[in-house]
Amino acid sequence: MLNETHDPGLRSWVLSAQQPGTDFPLQNLPYCVFRRSGSQEAWRGGVAIGDTILDMAAAYALGVFSSLAAEAAQTACASTLNGLMALGPSAWSALRLALSRLLRDGAPEAAQLQACLVAQVDAEYAVSAGIGDYTDFFTSQHHALNAGRIFQPQNALLPNFKWLPIGYHGRASTVAISGTAVARPHGQTRAPEAAAPRFGPTQGLDYEVELGIFVGPGNPQGTSIALDDAEDHAFGLCLLNDWSARDVQAWESMPLGPFMAKNFLTSVSPWIVTLEALAPFRVPLPREATDPPALPYLQSQQVQAFDIQLEAWLTPQGEVHATRLSHTSYRHAYWSVAHMLAQHTSNGCALLPGDLLGTGTQSGPQPGEEGCLLELTRGGQNLLTLPSGVQRGYLQDGDSVLLRGVCERAGFARIGFGECHGQIVPARPAIYL
């Protein structure tokens, strides 16, 4: 799985790629869709290197790619990356190797490619794919337990959890790029003692620390993706914030699960980190002797987890300093990327290139690893006190939430996911009131 592109000694002629702490060294090479801020330029694919973006349309026009890498690079010139996602791992790998060599110190093409760099601070981003369908899973047992203790304390971890990765079909139309304002949604809620529900702005606005998975080649309707082949159908991972209205969720969710509490907005980071870039950060799946044996279609000796550190930061309204609310790792998730793809297609359900899967809120076993305010405040009951003295149960108007993801391992280059952020703005006037 490891190859020359993972060599920690590689250096780029883009000097900022060597800056300590950069998310985007030469060993990462994540994709985005971008254009210069405020311009009417066409959206096109880009690749992060240091604090710049390699403009794939400009680089392709130079003719610096050949054979399979050229075919892949051509698809990355488009306004969405669906075409690149559809090509599959051989083409992705060929393009990654070509990019690694072109951006390496001493590459003869460096002088030409210098003109294809756009500073990240001068860019704006779009969601990288036309997303046909979005499915959000529930793969963290620690989130399931913490949330279960609030919603159904008598049976915190539901009996199906360790038998299958469960999920629900979300709303692709409201997946938005990081930075999109989060308008406090209206919804129907019922206080425990109230005789009737009410309709109005949610008082339980929360975030969820998740990763998103962009589907690569899909599967025809009526076919399934085998667990051991499933990663070939995963293009890459991004940060994902599944904004949630807890009071709406508590009232509406039984018996069918999330609906209006989740579909008002889902934020994704601009950068998609490929599975190949994540190869050095594979770790064994968390399993205990007491866990039930997986059914054969969910059983594999090969499938692994990824150690991706995930952080959530809050900047309260009126303040400038962010406070870190949680720090965990995706390594704690019970079900992997491959399990989600295998489960989703196990009944013959077709996936398409550019479909988005969410991992569900990622929490770890220790205090400080809770991936949402629902867990951190026990359903809004135990207020968090921030260093400034400000308290929070759920999010207030003006609050900003920022997610980060980073992979670190001794002997390898540190790579990151950039940021996924959003600021809460007051509820829009409700036309139905």
Active-site positions read 143
Q: Report the nearest approach of Ca ion to the CB of residue 81 (Å).
A: 23
Binding pattern to Ca ion, positions 108-147, x when CB under 5 A?
Answer: ----------------------------x-----------
Q: Report the nearest approach of Ca ion to the CB of residue 341 (Å).
A: 18
**Residue 272: HSE in the Cβ half-sphere, 13 Å Cα cutoff:** 32
Own/partner contacts of 384-388, CB < 8 Å, gap of 24 or more, are: 384/325, 386/314, 386/316, 386/323, 387/321, 387/323, 388/316, 388/319, 388/321
CB-nearer residue toward Ca ion: 136 or 370: 136
Chain position whose Cβ is nearest to Ca ion: 242
Which DSSP letter does residue 4 get? G
Alpha carbons 77 and 59: distance in angstroms, whole number: 9
CB-nearer residue toward Ca ion: 96 or 246: 246
Binding pattern to Ca ion, positions 37-76, x when CB under 5 A?
Answer: ----------------------------------------
CB-nearer residue toward Ca ion: 55 or 242: 242
Helices (H), 351-425: 373-376
- 231 near Ca ion, rule: CB under 5 A: no
Identify which range of 59-67, 158-166, 206-214, 367-375 contacts Ca ion by CB under 5 A: 206-214
CB-nearer residue toward Ca ion: 79 or 174: 174
Which DSSP letter does residue 386 get? -
Q: Given candidates 55, 242, 252, 355, which one binds Ca ion under the rule CB under 5 A?
A: 242
Residue with tokens 């190869």: 279
Residues in binding contact with Ca ion, number by CB under 5 A: 3
Give the CA distances from residue 135 to residues 138, 308, 336, in Å, rounded to whole numbers and listed in that order: 10, 21, 15
- 208 near Ca ion, rule: CB under 5 A: yes
Identify which range of 97-105, 148-156, 226-234, 240-248 contacts Ca ion by CB under 5 A: 240-248
Binding pattern to Ca ion, positions 365-404, x when CB under 5 A?
Answer: ----------------------------------------
CB-nearer residue toward Ca ion: 109 or 208: 208
Residue 343: phi and psi, rounded to 5, are: -65, -45
Give the closest residue to 218 by CA, choosing from 340, 341, 95.
341
Inter-residue contact 197 to 251 (CB < 8 Å): yes
CB-nearer residue toward Ca ion: 52 or 266: 266
Give the CA distances from residue 78 to residues 58, 141, 261, in Å, rounded to whole numbers and listed in that order: 12, 39, 34
Inter-residue contact 14 to 7 (CB < 8 Å): no
Record the tokens describing residue 433, joined without a space.
């009131």
Q: Report the nearest approach of Ca ion to the CB of residue 209 (Å).
A: 9
Q: Report the nearest approach of Ca ion to the CB of residue 358 (Å).
A: 6
Q: Report the nearest approach of Ca ion to the CB of residue 222 (Å).
A: 29
Alpha carbons 310 and 327: distance in angstroms, whole number: 6
Inter-residue contact 404 to 273 (CB < 8 Å): no
Give the closest residue to 198 by CA, choosing from 186, 188, 212.
188
CB-nearer residue toward Ca ion: 136 or 276: 136
Q: Report the nearest approach of Ca ion to the CB of residue 329 (Å).
A: 18
Q: Report the nearest approach of Ca ion to the CB of residue 393 (Å).
A: 19
Identify which range of 208-216, 227-235, 267-275, 369-377 contacts Ca ion by CB under 5 A: 208-216
Which residues make up the interface to Ca ion (CB under 5 A)? 136, 208, 242
